[in-house]
Every structure is written in C-alpha cells, then in structure tokens.
C-alpha cells in the first residue's frame, strides 16, 4: 500500500470522527435543553380544596347507637369513606327514615332529599380525589420522563467515548503502519504506546464518570406529608388525608404507615445498591422542595409516587361501594 493511499484512508477516518462527534454534540445539547425544561415544569395543581366544598370528616364512636345502626346497614369500607366525607349524620337520618318507611308506599320527600344531598357530596368528593390523583400522577410522569432523558444523556456520552476509543485505535494502527512503511520503526513503536495509553485513558474516564443529574424541583411535594405525617396536610384535601390515616381494615396499619414501611424498604435497597457500586455521595432528599437527581434517584421517586397514586385511586372504589349501598334498598341487604 502506498503512502498516498494510507494518507487518504487516514484523512477519511479523521473526517468521520469529527462528523460523528459534531452530530453527537448537537444531539446532546438538544437533550440537555429538553431535560432542563421538563425538570423545571412543576405540576401546578392545587388539590387542597378544589371542589369548593370543605369536607369535615366525622368519626363514629365505637359501640354508640349510631355506630350499631349504620353497621347493620353499611359495610366497613363504605363506612370508612362515609366518615371521610362527613356523611355519618345524614346516613343515620336516612337509616331511621328507612325503618319508618312502609314497603308499600313510595319513599318520602324528606328521605329523597337526604339521599340526593349525600350523592351530591359524594360527587364532589370524587372531584377532590381525582385532583389529588392528578397531582401525584403528574409528578410521577415528570420524574419518569426526566429519568428517561438522563439515561439518554448518559448513553450519548458513553457512545461518544466508544467512538473516540475506536477511532483512536484505528488512527494509531494506521499511523504505526505508515511509519513502518517509511522505515521509522522507533517512531511507530512510540505511536503504538501512545495510542494504547490514549485508549486506556478513554476507558478509565468512561468508568470513572459520574451519572448525569438534573435539578428536579417539587415545591408541592406529595411525598413530604406522607413521610413527615403532620396533623393537617397542605397538599391533600381533608377527606383524602383522613382516608390515608385510616387502616383498610380493623387491626391493620393505616395506609400512610403502610406506604412509609414500603418506602423505607425501597430507600434502603437503593442505598445498598449504591454502596455496592462504591458510589459515596449525599443521599437525595426525596421529601424536600427539590434536589439534584440521577436517573436512578428519579426512578425511585417515580416508584414511590406510583404506590401513592394506587392508594388514592382505590379511594374511588370505596366511594363506589358507599354510593351503591346508599341507593340500594335496605331490605335487599
């Protein structure tokens, strides 16, 4: 092979390297711009009182006459939702009217008015539940999308390093061959050593690079109230907060306690995985106003939000159960 041919091949490879680098750089800039936009786009949803109706949860006193009356008429899940919405007084009034109602006569206007008022309140409650679900779901999807973009950014960086290593190896081999054709044996050996060191340096740099992060802000953090467990929530409506603080069935922990237990396990597994990879850095504050997240951190956050969203969506199931128990005749139970 002549020196002229070698020079042409060498020039072609160098041009290919610069074109690939430029394309990768432009793609990386576009990803970084999109990442910044998505990470800073807070979900502006106020779920603290969207229905315009202030629900006042009311606890039934165990063993009281009202408690005994309603437990013969309604199931446990329906009563838990009724207490969250504050319907226990109306349920007692309706149950007493049902006892006085003669089967052969149509329902009284008083009874129908009470039942209509209860269904109206349940419809308003469904709006509050839907808004709380929307807030959590929005934050979860934002975290998932940001994690995807961070992963793409990391993959793009690794691709550039791989292209650089391959091109360095090819250029080194061609340069060594060119020098040997020109009877420059010593120069070829030194170029081979330098090329090997350059490839090793690229490989070591790729291994030592830290994963990219995004400044992910969440001023209205749905996870914070679940973790800190204040008496009153500033994120969730009163009926949702009451529901989350109640156990699903007697003798079981509350929904909040169950979520906290699962999150503690999830965070401990995440911390253990980071230690196994020898990554020593400050843990992300999932329950604050924002932090710098990696893709892995955002995946953990999205998982916690997904678990919370599932519990909120199950509220609609209990709401449906209560509504069915209200509209069904008592004698058919």
First to last CA, the chain: 95
pLDDT band at 244 (very low <50, low <70, confident <90, very high): very high
Sorted by sequence, the CB contacts under 8 Å of residue 131 that are 6+ apart come out as: 45, 46, 47, 50, 237
- Using DSSP's 3-state secondary structure scheme, residue 83 falls into helix
Helices (H), the chain: 3-39, 65-71, 76-85, 88-100, 109-181, 185-208, 222-228, 238-244, 255-276, 295-327
pLDDT band at 263 (very low <50, low <70, confident <90, very high): very high
d(CA 193, CA 232) in angstroms, rounded, equals: 68
Most confident segment among 3-7, 150-154, 176-180, 321-325 = 321-325
* Beta-bridge partners for 326: none
Give the residue from 239, 206, 202, 227 showing the smallest Cα distance to 124: 239
Give the residue from 129, 159, 145, 179 showing the smallest Cα distance to 10: 179
Cα dihedral 87, 90, 96, 100 in deg (nearest 10): -130
- Quote the tokens at residue 25: 């750089």
Of 10-14, 99-103, 285-289, 297-301, which gets the smallest average pLDDT?
10-14
Better pLDDT: 63 or 190? 63
**C-alpha separations of 21 from 157, 201, 252 in Å:** 10, 18, 58
Once rounded to an integer, what is the mean pLDDT over residues 172-197?
62
Of 10-24, 50-64, 99-113, 298-312, which gets the smallest average pLDDT?
10-24
Instruction: Assess whether pLDDT exceeds 90 at residue 262.
Output: yes
């Amino acid at each position: 092979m002549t020196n002229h041919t070698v020079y042409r091949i060498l020039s072609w490879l160098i041009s290919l390297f610069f074109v690939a680098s430029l394309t990768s750089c432009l793609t990386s800039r576009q990803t970084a711009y999109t990442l910044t936009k998505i990470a800073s786009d807070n979900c502006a949803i106020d779920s603290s009182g969207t229905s315009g109706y202030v629900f006042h949860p009311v606890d039934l006193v165990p063993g009281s006459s009202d408690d005994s009356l309603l437990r013969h008429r309604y199931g446990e899940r329906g009563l838990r939702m009724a207490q969250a919405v504050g319907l226990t007084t109306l349920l007692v009034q309706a149950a007493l009217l049902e006892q006085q109602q003669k089967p052969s006569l149509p329902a009284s206007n008083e009874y129908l008015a009470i039942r209509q008022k209860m269904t109206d309140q349940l419809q308003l409650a469904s709006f509050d539940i839907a808004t709380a679900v929307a807030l959590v779901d929005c934050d979860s999807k934002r975290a998932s999308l940001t994690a995807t973009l961070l992963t793409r950014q990391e993959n793009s960086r690794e691709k550039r390093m791989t292209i650089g290593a391959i091109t360095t190896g090819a250029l080194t081999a061609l340069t060594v061959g060119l020098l040997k054709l020109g009877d420059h044996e010593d120069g070829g050996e030194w170029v081979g050593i330098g090329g090997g060191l350059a490839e090793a340096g690229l490989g070591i740099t790729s291994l030592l690079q830290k994963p990219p992060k995004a400044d992910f802000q969440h001023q209205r953090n749905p996870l914070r109230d679940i973790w800190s467990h204040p008496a009153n929530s500033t994120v969730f409506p009163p009926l949702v907060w009451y529901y989350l603080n109640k156990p699903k069935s007697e003798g079981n922990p509350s929904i909040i306690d169950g979520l906290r237990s699962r999150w503690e396990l999830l965070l401990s597994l995440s911390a253990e995985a980071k230690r196994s990879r020898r990554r020593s850095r400050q843990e992300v504050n999932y329950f604050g106003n924002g932090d710098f997240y990696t893709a892995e951190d955002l995946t953990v956050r999205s998982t916690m939000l997904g678990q919370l969203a599932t519990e909120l969506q199950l509220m609609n199931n209990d709401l449906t159960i209560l509504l069915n128990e209200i509209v069904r005749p008592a004698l058919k139970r």
